Structure 1
Amino acid sequence: MDLSIIIVNYNTRELTLKCIHSVLASTPSYSYEIILIDNASSDGTIQAVEEQFPQVTCIANKENVGFSKANNQGIKIAKGRYVLLLNSDTVVQTDTLDIMLRFMDAHPTVGASGCKIVLPDGSLDKACKRGFPTPSASFYYAFGFSKLFPNNPRFNQYQLGYLDADQEYPIDSLVGAFMLVRREAIDQVGMLDEEFFMYGEDIDWCYRIKQAGWVNYYYPRTQIIHYKGASSRKKPYKIIYEFHRAMILFHKKHFQRQYSWPINVMVFAGVGLKFVLSLIKNKLRPAR
């Protein structure tokens, strides 16, 4: 088996069906399998997938175990030389899988790669190519400096906005919406860290992969569509909480020992402030 495609679903039935259909409509010259992990959805996703796509391997969890743990469930039974994390709210092009696997086969030092990801309006999903969230990178991103100075490398260490999205290059971090990982890299660094519930696990994985000597690579010779939720909608408290908890967890795990205590205090205080501001901003949003 060449490729194992892992899709985690939580109450995104129609998007998940659309995602699977796009994969099955693709034309790769490689063998692949699709593994769907459902986190206790209440929208009948598992039944619909089993009826419409019997070739898909389904795992039905009795509770929402989070993105990391669900993906790890899929990785544990995956048979492919490569593992692809693919969000349920994405649509791949007919040649996406073929292009990406040919790239990986031709570049054995690349541990993980990602393609260009666009939003439904055609704009770039900026998360598809990122730097690591160092204290300075996180500060400039969290407090808007990256938006004010989009072409300045100093202020865009995280989203790398100064780099051409249509050019290929090694980067620090990819995004879990589409992340193609070599089996040897997984065997070396381990699976996703399940301490991260639904954010930060992809950055943490990329950090460990790069630390182990592999290259993380952005390869925009193909692209996918990512249907993210509308920004005008209110977000559940848990989503806001887990996003900021992931920031703290990543810093503690990888950066805390590298910096002095005043820097660490400023980081934790900054994340706390950002968390409060996000809650206020979310409360002021219209429901739809």
Structure 2
Amino acid sequence: MQLSVIILNYNVRYFLEQCVLSVQSALENIDGEIIVVDNNSPDDSCSMMKTRFPNVKLIQNNENSGFPKGNNIGVAQAQGEYICILNPDTVVAEDTFSKVLAFAKKQSDLGIVGVKLIDGTGNFLPESKRGIPTPFVAFTKITGLYRMFPKSKIFGKYYAEHLDENQTGKIEILVGAFMLMKRDLYLEIGGFDEKCFMYSDDIDLSYTVLKAGKSNYYYHETTVIHYKGESTVKDGTYMKRFQEAMQFFYQKHFKVSVLFSAFMKVGIVFFSLVKLFQGQPKIKTPPKSFVLYSSSEQLANKLVLILQKKVVFHDLKTEKMVLSSLLKEGAGTEIILDNEFVSFKESIAVLASLKNKGFTFKIVPKYSDFLIGSNTNSERGEIIEIER
């Protein structure tokens, strides 16, 4: 088998459904498998998987054992030559895996491959590529120096600014939302360190791969949506675990002075509080208008009743999707993409093309009864249930 995709889920049933749909489409011409590991979700994630995807391997844990252990459990049952660690709040394009695998096979020193990630508004996520957070690099992050001098070789290392977002190349640290590597290498280095519950696990794995003499790569020629904020509610528990994760990484890999350790503790608390503040709910402004790209007039009529507003319907059976025409709609318009007629790759392209133009976006996953999307990467997204 060529590829095993490991999806660790906790309590994000709707995002998981969309994610698995996109992965199934991306594996259509690949000898691969999907393994969903559920960390004892209180929602109906598992019942949904059994009903919607009976042929997908589902592992149900009796406890929330954390990100590292959950993924290790999944990889232990994987059969693929390559594995891909994938967050449930992601959407891959139909050609994502074929492109990344082709790239991976060409590398003689392959460690981990990551891809270009965007959020639910189409904006690039800088954590797609990062540098090793040495004490100094962490200092530039905590103090905000990386923002003041983003192109500086000295201060721009945290987000690997030496490499443009549209440029493929070697980097040091990748994010756990999408990590593709050889299964043998994963097992050789021991997988994710289970001493860390979550948050610095991807940094630790990336760094361990580098220490094993391999190279990590950022690959920009495919784009994946990462909604973020879905698997984690940024509450007091989040802040505590984030602090513990950063302390775990430094204690494991770096020898630092007592003075610097004290500074880092203060910095971590400050950084955690910022994250906590970012995760607080904000007042949401409802869309002024809606535009639906579909070929289902029935769906258009249902959305009018549900949304209680006019829905401009573009029938893809008779017209093409012309994004430039949407600019006339103006800010405050929500674009709804029916995945039965608009591919995941096309949907991702729409988000990326219309970012920062005042639009919000929702996808209706194929054969599903809900709209899904996120208007910010710092809080949970929005689900609107419909009857198909």
TM over 0.5: yes
Q: Does 1:161 align with 2:158?
A: no
Q: Structure 1-normalised TM-score?
A: 0.91
Partners in 2 of 1:62 and 1:110 — Cα distance? 35
Instruction: Tell me: CA distance 1:268–1:82, structure 2 relative to 1, closer, same or farther (3 Å).
Output: farther
Instruction: Tell me: CA distance 1:277–1:24, structure 2 relative to 1, closer, same or farther (3 Å).
Output: closer
Q: For 1:71-150, what aligned pairs fall within 5 Å after superposition?
A: 71-150=71-150
Amino acid at match of 1:205: L
SS state at 1:146 partner: helix
Find the counterpart in structure 2 of residue 70 from structure 1.
70
Q: Please tell me whether the aligned partners of residues 36 and 58 of structure 2 are also in contact (alpha carbons under 8 angstroms).
A: yes
Task: Please state which structure has a larger fraction of its residues in helix.
Answer: 1
Residue 162 (structure 1) shift? 4.4
Partners in 1 of 2:243 and 2:60 — Cα distance? 28
Partners in 2 of 1:284 and 1:223 — Cα distance? 25
Find the counterpart in structure 1 of residue 174 from structure 2.
174
Find the counterpart in structure 2 of residue 240 from structure 1.
239
Partners in 1 of 2:126 and 2:140 — Cα distance? 15
Amino acid at match of 1:275: V
Residue 284 (structure 1) shift? 9.1
Amino acid at match of 1:270: M
Partners in 1 of 2:245 and 2:222 — Cα distance? 30
Match of 2:268 among 247, 256, 274: 274
Instruction: Tell me: CA distance 1:29–1:108, structure 2 relative to 1, closer, same or farther (3 Å).
Output: farther
Partners in 2 of 1:154 and 1:248 — Cα distance? 23
CA shift digits 1:14-69 (9 cap, x unpaired): 00000000011225532111111111111100110111011111111111111111
Of 195-204 and 157-166, deviating more is 157-166
Q: Please tell me whether the aligned partners of residues 6 and 85 of structure 1 are also in contact (alpha carbons under 8 angstroms).
A: yes
Partners in 2 of 1:21 and 1:140 — Cα distance? 39
Residue 77 (structure 1) shift? 0.7
Number of residue equivalences: 281
Q: Please tell me whether the aligned partners of residues 174 and 206 of structure 1 are also in contact (alpha carbons under 8 angstroms).
A: yes
SS state at 2:272 partner: helix
Q: Does 1:57 align with 2:57?
A: yes
Q: Structure 2-normalised TM-score?
A: 0.69
Partners in 1 of 2:271 and 2:179 — Cα distance? 31
CA shift digits 1:176-227 (9 cap, x unpaired): 1000011231232111101111111111111111111111111111110000
Find the counterpart in structure 1 of residue 316 from structure 2.
none
Residue 111 (structure 1) shift? 1.7
Q: Please tell me whether the aligned partners of residues 247 and 271 of structure 1 are also in contact (alpha carbons under 8 angstroms).
A: no
Give the unaligned 5+ runs of structure 1. none
Instruction: Tell me: CA distance 1:113–1:57, structure 2 relative to 1, closer, same or farther (3 Å).
Output: same
Partners in 1 of 2:131 and 2:217 — Cα distance? 12
Find the counterpart in structure 2 of residue 253 from structure 1.
252
Residue 269 (structure 1) shift? 2.8
Residue 143 (structure 1) shift? 1.5
Amino acid at match of 1:121: T
Partners in 2 of 1:284 and 1:5 — Cα distance? 31
Q: Does 1:195 align with 2:195?
A: yes
Instruction: Tell me: CA distance 1:121–1:52, structure 2 relative to 1, closer, same or farther (3 Å).
Output: same
Residue 280 (structure 1) shift? 7.3
Identity %: 38
Residue 118 (structure 1) shift? 0.9
Q: Please tell me whether the aligned partners of residues 234 and 280 of structure 2 are also in contact (alpha carbons under 8 angstroms).
A: no
Amino acid at match of 1:269: F
Of 18-27 and 153-162, deviating more is 153-162
Partners in 1 of 2:194 and 2:217 — Cα distance? 24
Q: Please tell me whether the aligned partners of residues 90 and 227 of structure 2 are also in contact (alpha carbons under 8 angstroms).
A: yes
Between structure 1 and structure 2, the one with the greater Rg is 2
Q: Please tell me whether the aligned partners of residues 3 and 81 of structure 1 are also in contact (alpha carbons under 8 angstroms).
A: yes
Q: Please tell me whether the aligned partners of residues 234 and 287 of structure 1 are also in contact (alpha carbons under 8 angstroms).
A: no
Instruction: Tell me: CA distance 1:246–1:281, structure 2 relative to 1, closer, same or farther (3 Å).
Output: closer
Partners in 2 of 1:187 and 1:280 — Cα distance? 36
Amino acid at match of 2:263: A
Residue 157 (structure 1) shift? 1.3
Partners in 2 of 1:191 and 1:81 — Cα distance? 15
Runs of 4 or more above 3 Å deviation:
276-288
CA shift digits 1:96-118 (9 cap, x unpaired): 01001111112231121111111
SS state at 1:51 partner: helix
CA shift digits 1:102-160 (9 cap, x unpaired): 11112231121111111122211111101111000000001211111111121121112
Amino acid at match of 1:136: F
